[in-house]
Amino acid sequence: MSDTELDKLRRAIDAVDTRLLELIHERVRLVLEVGVYKGKHGLAVYDPERERRLLERLTSLAQPPVEPDTVRRIFERLIDESRRLEQRHTPR
């Protein structure tokens, strides 16, 4: 593979990363809206059953070469960070 081919692939990865970041921003915005709703209605931030169902659904969608455990780890981290932001940025 030439340096030009490698650069092209890396630029493509960078573009995907930018799109992923945009989607993460959108997800966090929605999480914060959920946090406001939960705060107004006296609901807990942490919903273990919702998290379990979400992780089951997402891991079932994994396609090779991405393994279900990889999907689980990525989304566990995303959920943890989303919960942290929800607790930090929504009134209680």
Task: Tell if the pTM clears 0.85, that is, is over it.
Answer: yes
Compute mean pLDDT per 10 residues along the chain, 92 residues long, and list them: 91 98 98 93 93 98 98 98 90 68
Domain ranges of the chain: 3-89
Instruction: Give one DSSP letter per residue of 30-41, joined into a string.
Output: HHHHHHHHHHHT
| Contact status, residue 50 vs residue 71, Cβ threshold 8 Å | no
In the prediction, which pLDDT does 81 show? 96
Q: Which CATH superfamily is domain 3-89 in?
A: Chorismate mutase (1.20.59.10)
In the prediction, which pLDDT does 92 show? 64
Structure tokens at 89: 């940025």
First and final C-alpha spacing in the chain: 55
